[in-house]
Amino acid sequence: MWVKKLKSFMFEFVVGKEYPKITESRAIIRFQDCDPLQHLNNSKYFDYYFNAREDQVAKLYGFKFSEVFKNYRTSWVVYQHQIAYLRPANVSEWIRIYSRIIYFDADTLVTEYFMTDDSKNELKNVMWTTSKYISVESGKRVPHQKYVTDYLAATCETGVDFKNISFNDRIKQIKGELLNNLSSL
């Protein structure tokens, strides 16, 4: 099997290999991250999601955001979030965090995050984050380099029609996936 090694950020692209499209992490809701009602503070969802994503893409794909910054002098900058708080995540509760790329083009990336209870039955939160790819020197948008595009293409979920689905309809789809025991994830 032919291996094309993307040495600049260690993602190994193997032609014909099927890469996992979704990442999964397990975490416990920390007391320090909760509000007086013992629910995860709304702003802390971002920390839980971003930390889980960074850990999982490094583990699954060998991808390091810092290497893109260092080698290409580029980075993704958050442009927009859409977030729905459906059920509270409570102090000391074990939860599961999922993330996946659901759309990308020349300079844009949309990552979908969602959180469930530990048994994967209750959907607690869904978030879409749209990021723009920028040059750190100019602060302006630039196109993804070939290696970055290879990584995005290999790991992007193809079953989400991002351009034609609303955020609320997507929440309904994720709830349906949970009913099917995440068999489609």
Give the per-residue pLDDT at 64.
Answer: 81
Task: Specify if 101 maps to a domain.
Answer: yes
Give the per-residue pLDDT at 3.
Answer: 44
Count of domains observed in the chain: 1
| CA distance readout (Å), 143 to 11, 99, 117, 137 | 19, 23, 38, 14
Task: Specify if 11 maps to a domain.
Answer: no
- Give CA–CA dist 98/185, Å, rounded: 9
Regions of the chain with pLDDT less than 50 = 1-8, 183-184
One DSSP character per residue, 126-163 reads: EEEEEEEEEETTT-SB-PPPHHHHHHHHHHB-TT--GG
Task: Specify if 125 maps to a domain.
Answer: yes
- Give CA–CA dist 63/54, Å, rounded: 9
Give the per-residue pLDDT at 16.
Answer: 79
Residue 160 lies in domain? 23-179
According to DSSP H, which parts of the chain are helical?
44-61, 65-72, 146-155, 167-179
For residue 116, give the CATH number of its domain.
3.10.129.10
Task: Specify if 14 maps to a domain.
Answer: no
Task: Specify if 49 maps to a domain.
Answer: yes
